Amino acid sequence: MSKNIVIIGGSAAGPKAAARARRLDQKAIITLIQKEEHLSMASCGYPYYIGGTFDARSALLSTLDGALRDPDYFINVKNINAIINTEATVINKENRTVSYKNLITNETGSINYDELIIATGATPKKPPIDGLDLEGVTHLHSMADTDYLRKLCERMMVEKAVVIGGGLIGMEVCEALIESEVEEVTIVEFLPQILPFLDWDLAKLVENHCVTKAVKIITSRSASRFIGNNGELTGIELDDGTIIDCELAVVAVGVQPNIKLAETAGLEIGKFGGIKVNQYMQTSDEHIYAVGDCIETKSVITGQQVLAPMGDLANLEGRVAGENAILGNKKTFPGVLQTGICKIFEYTAGSTGLSETTAKKLGFDCISSVTSGADKPHFMSAARLISRITADRKTGRILGFQCVGMGDVSRQLATAAMALAGQLTIDTAANLDLPYAPPFSPAIDHFIAATHVLQNKMNGLLTGISAIEVKKKIDSDETPFLLDVRENGEYNQNHIGIGETTIPIGELKKRLNELPEDKDKEIICFCHFSLRGYEASLTIRNNGWKNVNVMEGGISAWPYAMKKQ
Please provide the DSSP assignment of 271-323 as one string.
Answer: TTSSEE--TTSB-SSTTEEE-GGGEEEEBTTT--EE----HHHHHHHHHHHHH
Angle between helices 71-78 and 13-24 (to 10 degrees): 20
Distance (Å, whole) CA 148 – CA 288: 36
Mean pLDDT of 167-173: 97
In 3-state terms, what secondary structure has residue 226?
Answer: strand
Distance (Å, whole) CA 53 – CA 45: 10
Architecture of the CATH domain 464-564: 3-Layer(aba) Sandwich (3.40)
In 3-state terms, what secondary structure has residue 129?
Answer: coil
**pLDDT over 70 (residue 262):** yes
Mean pLDDT of 392-402: 98
Distance (Å, whole) CA 168 – CA 340: 8
Please give the helix or strand (H or E) that residue 24 lies within, else none.
Answer: helix 13-24
Provide the residue ranges of all domains of the chain, joining segments of one domain with +. 4-122+256-327, 137-253, 346-458, 464-564
**pLDDT over 90 (residue 203):** yes
Mean pLDDT of 497-522: 95
Whole-model pTM? 0.95
pLDDT by residue (tens digit) across 277-325? 999 999 999 999 999 999 999 999 999 999 999 999 999 999 999 999 9
Please give the helix or strand (H or E) that residue 447 lies within, else none.
Answer: helix 446-458
Same fold, 4-122+256-327 and 137-253: yes
Cβ count near 494 (within 10 Å): 15
Please give the helix or strand (H or E) that residue 76 lies within, else none.
Answer: helix 71-78
Fold of 4-122+256-327: FAD/NAD(P)-binding domain (3.50.50)
Distance (Å, whole) CA 408 – CA 374: 9
Return the pLDDT at 534: 97
Distance (Å, whole) CA 245 – CA 312: 37
Return the pLDDT at 122: 97
Task: Identify which of 45, 54, 53 has the alpha carbon closest to the alpha carbon of residue 178.
Answer: 53
Return the pLDDT at 563: 78
Distance (Å, whole) CA 465 – CA 126: 40
Distance (Å, whole) CA 185 – CA 22: 46
321: Cβ–Cβ under 8 A, 6 or more apart, which residues? 13, 17, 117, 280, 281, 289, 290, 291
Distance (Å, whole) CA 29 – CA 111: 11
**pLDDT over 80 (residue 341):** yes
Distance (Å, whole) CA 416 – CA 399: 10
Mean pLDDT estimate for the chain: 96
Distance (Å, whole) CA 356 – CA 282: 33
Please list the residues that pair with 32 across neighbouring strands: 7, 82
Mapped to the 3 state alphabet, what secondary structure does 230-266 carry?
CCEEEEEEECCCCEEECCEEEECCCEEECCHHHHHCC
Mean pLDDT of 158-179: 97
The distance of Cα 455 from the centroid of its chain, to the nearest Å, equals 26
Active site residue 294: no
* CB burial of residue 152 (10 Å; 0-12, 13-18, 19+): buried
**pLDDT over 80 (residue 565):** no
Residue 334 φ/ψ, nearest 5 degrees: -75, -15
Ramachandran assignment for 246, one of left (phi > 0), alpha (psi -120 to 50 degrees), beta (any other): beta
460: Cβ–Cβ under 8 A, 6 or more apart, which residues? none
Find out whether 379 and 438 touch, Cβ atoms under 8 Å: yes
Mean pLDDT of 17-33: 98
Residue 350 φ/ψ, nearest 5 degrees: -165, 165
Cβ count near 257 (within 10 Å): 25
Distance (Å, whole) CA 173 – CA 126: 17
Which listed CATH number (3.40.50.620, 3.20.20.10, 3.40.50.720, 3.50.50.60) goes with 346-458? 3.50.50.60
pLDDT by residue (tens digit) across 94-143? 999 999 999 999 999 999 999 999 999 999 999 999 999 999 999 999 99
Dmax (CA) for the chain in angstroms is 89
Mean pLDDT of 521-538: 96
Find out whether 222 and 128 touch, Cβ atoms under 8 Å: no
- The CA R_g of the chain, rounded to the nearest whole Å, is 27
Contacts for 476-482: CB closer than 8 Å, 24+ residues apart: 478/522, 480/521, 480/522, 480/523, 480/524, 480/549, 481/515, 481/516, 481/521, 481/522, 481/523, 481/524, 482/524, 482/526
Find out whether 463 and 551 touch, Cβ atoms under 8 Å: no
What CATH number labels 137-253? 3.50.50.60
Distance (Å, whole) CA 494 – CA 555: 9
**pLDDT over 80 (residue 1):** no
Q: How confident is the model at residue 28 (pLDDT cuts 50, 70, 90)?
A: very high
